[in-house]
Amino acid sequence: MSVPARRTRAAPLVIASATAVGAALAAALVLALGVAAGRPDVAVVAVPVLLTSFWAGLRRPARMTGLRLRSAPGRVESGEIRADLTLDSDAGVESVLVRVAAQGYRSAEALLAADRARVVGASLQTARTGVHELFRVDTISHGFGAVLTSDPATVGPIPVAVHPLPRPLAQMPLPFRLAGLTGNHTSRRVGEGYEVHDVHEFAPGDRLKRIDWRVSARRAYDPRTGRLGTLYARRTFATADATVMIVIDSRDDVGPDVETWAGGTDARMDAATSLDIAREAATAIARAYLDMGDRVGLDDLGRRRRPVPPGVGRGHAERLAQRLLRVAPEGWPDKRERAPQLPSGALVVLCSTFLDDEAARMGRQWRSHGHRVIAVDTVPRLSTRYLTPLQDTAFRLIMLDRAQRIRELRRTGVEVVGWNDTSAAELHAAARSRTQGGRR
Amino acid sequence: MSVLDRLAGSRPEHPRPRISIEGAAMVPAWVVAVAGGLVTALGVTVLVDEWVVGALVGAAVAAIRHSAVATGLLVLGAFWMLQQEPDPVRCAVLTLVVHVAAVTARLTGPLSLTGAIETRLLIRVGAAFAVIQVIAQALGGLAFAALTGLPPMPWVGVAGMLAVCGAVAAGISWVRRSTD
């Protein structure tokens, strides 16, 4: 993604601040008082303030500070996010008051020396992923002694695309039926491959290099004639690739604090929400399958738009990552009557909170169509600490309903894994298991 | 949840994460405010010989952090000095205290107490402060020389003025060299 940058023109210099004018007038009054009373020692007290104003007038800057804000170059992942603020100041500018803010964060303020052009960094920590508007910067330039000040100038916020942290997964479950004629997996069909299926009599269509001379010599050698009778050839299992469809349920995005589920309060930026977990899971699973040479596609239950068709390669991984970054809840989509059509025999990875029946219904339909379905539970570790008794009761009812829904999914043959520290082991176990309905 | 939060019926707010500004070395604004307040309190205590008054003025400078406090101190100090006999120490201390209060307000006024001030800016402002103080104190010295009569050796005054000008020029060049 291109690195966004925002810029403002150098703010024009405005007149002296009201407090500076007041101080200069008071100092002039004291000076006049001292002179009128014949007390130079009184007049001297006003000298520092008058000298400051005088010096500020002499060193009046031609223009105030110009600003340019850009996010740090390169791929941005959750954790620390940086942005660079370039201050382009005139020689007469003594300092710049900088205030950096972002939604969900406490702002930071600093008074910086600005006598020359310089770059100042700003950073924040986030556990969130996706595209966020971050780093709104407000500045006020000060001349010498803050006698002259500029109008506030604002730059940003800038859109920052935050990718989930990579998470390696070792062994992944495969669909019940492998497709294609090449790939890294061994299918049940006989064909070109590496794993031996059996040894049988040479037949039309067998390649000569498949003849197993040792077996032929052992079984078909006639010692009386000194000739071979029937030739035997080795047959192997064909290789194939898997088609995986990752389906994200972007209809809701719930944070760890259950009190925020009703709206009105934003989820915290230092804790991952369900959609962040879904992004991380989808990215890691897609990466694992693509690394194995399989075909991976992406669909979104929350949007009626064309899915990303299954594909392979690094470019396709980037395409999936970009689509995942922009997954976000949009209104309340119409209820689907039928599950989206998926490639035949594809493994379905369904990432959802299962807080309502829609995603679970889709999962059951796909399973009934013969797909292997793996449901990834994306609800984060929840905190109910601040719920009122009424809210707590409602929450318990919702979670009971959800637990019942997940039990129903398991009963219909959908494998359910949570996305946590043990999810890699759970996926490994799913890869080793022989689920009912599969032919392997 | 604390007892007060329970009584108030509100949830305790867990502080939101903070953005950080990464420049050169920074000093918290509250440290500068407290330091300015302490210097002001000490100076006012020396002037009026009442530590309570000094503490109140110092607390006002540190807590309010507005130029109006320095301006008020200037006007009140000038009227108070008019009531007193001319005294070089009193004049020097009041000049210093008013200037410290003004610089403290200028540095910390625009910031919240959690804000920070860059050390390079503090050095630059401190150097300018020193230059202005040298000029003001020199003028104070000349004022008292005028009040009490010029010294019998005029060349001493001329040499003093030249020394002051040299010190000012050296200070300005040092500021430019050390902060660029």
Kindly state whether A112 is in contact with chain B, defined as any CB-CB distance less than 8 angstroms. yes
Nearest to B54 by CA among B40, B64, B41, B38: B41
Count CB neighbours of A323 within 10 A: 17
- Measured CA to CA, the distance from residue A353 to residue B13 in angstroms comes to 27
- Measured CA to CA, the distance from residue B89 to residue B97 in angstroms comes to 12
- Taking an 8 Å cut-off on Cβ atoms, the answer to whether A22 and B71 are in contact is yes
Q: What is the pLDDT of residues A153-197, one digit of tens each?
A: 888 789 999 999 888 887 888 888 877 777 777 777 777 777 787
- Measured CA to CA, the distance from residue B118 to residue B108 in angstroms comes to 12
For the ranges A7-21, A386-400, A422-436, the one whose mean pLDDT is highest: A386-400
- Measured CA to CA, the distance from residue A259 to residue A284 in angstroms comes to 29
- DSSP conformation class of A354: -
Q: How far is CA B68 from the centre of its chain?
A: 13
CB A97 within 8 A of CB A87: no
Kindly state whether A53 is in contact with chain B, defined as any CB-CB distance less than 8 angstroms. no
Q: What is the pLDDT of residues A258-317, one digit of tens each?
A: 888 877 777 788 888 999 999 999 999 999 899 888 889 999 888 877 888 999 888 999
Q: B28 Cβ partners below 8 Å, 6+ apart?
A: B113, B114, B115, B116, B117
Angle (CA) A303 A307 A309, round 5°? 170
Please give, rounded to a whole number of angstroms, the shortest distance from the CA of B145 to a CA of chain A: 10
Quote the pLDDT of residue A1: 44
- Taking an 8 Å cut-off on Cβ atoms, the answer to whether A269 and B88 are in contact is no
- Measured CA to CA, the distance from residue A169 to residue B122 in angstroms comes to 52
Q: What is the pLDDT of residues B63-101, one digit of tens each?
A: 988 888 999 999 999 999 888 888 888 899 999 999 999
By DSSP bridging, strand A79-88 and strand A66-71 are antiparallel
Kindly state whether B160 is in contact with chain A, defined as any CB-CB distance less than 8 angstroms. no
The two counts, helices (H) then strands (E), for chain A are: 9, 22
What is the Rg, in whole angstroms, of the alpha carbon atoms belonging to chain B? 21
Phi, psi of B117 (to 5 degrees): -120, 135
Nearest residue in chain B measured CA to CA from A135 = B19
- Measured CA to CA, the distance from residue A45 to residue A53 in angstroms comes to 14
- Taking an 8 Å cut-off on Cβ atoms, the answer to whether A44 and B118 are in contact is no
What six digits make up the tokens of A178? 């492998």
- Taking an 8 Å cut-off on Cβ atoms, the answer to whether A19 and B75 are in contact is no
pLDDT greater than 50 at residue A253: yes
- Taking an 8 Å cut-off on Cβ atoms, the answer to whether A112 and B118 are in contact is yes
Q: A328 Cβ partners below 8 Å, 6+ apart?
A: A130, A131, A250, A253, A275
- Taking an 8 Å cut-off on Cβ atoms, the answer to whether A144 and B147 are in contact is no
Q: Classify residue A299 as exposed, middle or buried by CB count within 10 Å of its CB (0-12, 13-18, 19+).
A: buried
Print the SS3 string covering A20-74: HHHHHHHHHHHHHHHHHCCCHHHHHHCHHHHHHHHHHHHCCCCCCCEEEEEECCC
Q: What percent of chain A has pLDDT over 90?
A: 24
- Measured CA to CA, the distance from residue A85 to residue A100 in angstroms comes to 10
Q: What count of Cα atoms within 13 Å lies in the side-chain half-sphere of residue A8? A: 25
pLDDT greater than 60 at residue A402: yes
Kindly state whether B48 is in contact with chain A, defined as any CB-CB distance less than 8 angstroms. no
Kindly state whether A103 is in contact with chain B, defined as any CB-CB distance less than 8 angstroms. no
More confident: B15 or A244: A244
- DSSP conformation class of A78: S
Q: What is the pLDDT of residues B116-160, one digit of tens each?
A: 999 999 998 998 999 899 888 888 888 787 777 655 556 666 666
As a whole number, the mean pLDDT across chain B is 83
Kindly state whether A36 is in contact with chain B, defined as any CB-CB distance less than 8 angstroms. no
- Measured CA to CA, the distance from residue A294 to residue A310 in angstroms comes to 9
Q: What is the mean pLDDT of residues A204-229?
A: 81
CB B110 within 8 A of CB A112: no
Phi, psi of A169 (to 5 degrees): -125, 135
- Measured CA to CA, the distance from residue B22 to residue B35 in angstroms comes to 24
**pLDDT band (50, 70, 90) for residue A202:** confident
pLDDT greater than 70 at residue A9: no
Q: A314 Cβ partners below 8 Å, 6+ apart?
A: A290
Alpha helices in A168-259 (DSSP H): 213-220
- Measured CA to CA, the distance from residue A389 to residue A334 in angstroms comes to 33
Angle (CA) B22 B24 B30, round 5°? 85
Side chain identity at residue A283, one-letter code: T
Sign of the four-CA dihedral A391, A397, A401, A403: positive
Nearest to B133 by CA among B161, B95, B159, B170: B95
Side chain identity at residue A397, one-letter code: L
Count CB neighbours of A23 within 10 A: 28
Quote the pLDDT of residue A440: 33
Mutation for A interface: B20, B96, B99, B177, most A CBs within 10 A: B20
- Transcribe A107-121 into DSSP letters: -EEEEEE-SS-EEEE
Q: What is the mean pLDDT of residues A239-263?
A: 86
**Residue B102 is nearest to which of A40, A49, A123, comparing CB atoms?**
A49
Quote the pLDDT of residue B29: 93
What six digits make up the tokens of A242? 């898997």
Window 108-147 of B: residues touching A by CB (8 A cutoff) are 109-112, 114-118, 120-121, 124-125, 128, 132-133, 135-136, 139-140, 143-144, 146-147
Give the ipTM of the model, two decimals please: 0.81
User: H or E element: which one contains A348?
Assistant: strand A347-352
Residue for token digits 């020199």?
B138
- Measured CA to CA, the distance from residue A421 to residue B96 in angstroms comes to 63
Please give, rounded to a whole number of angstroms, the shortest distance from the CA of B52 to a CA of chain A: 23
Cis ω on the peptide bond leading into residue B152 (within 30° of 0)? no
- Measured CA to CA, the distance from residue A396 to residue A381 in angstroms comes to 15
Chain B partners of A67 at a C-beta cutoff of 8 Å? none
Q: How far is CA A1 from the centre of its chain?
A: 13
Q: How far is CA A5 from CA A86, A100, B92, in A?
A: 11, 15, 52
More confident: A336 or A24: A24
Count CB neighbours of A211 within 10 A: 14
**Residue A30 is nearest to which of B78, B118, B143, comparing CB atoms?**
B78
Count CB neighbours of A144 within 10 A: 23
- Measured CA to CA, the distance from residue B43 to residue B90 in angstroms comes to 9
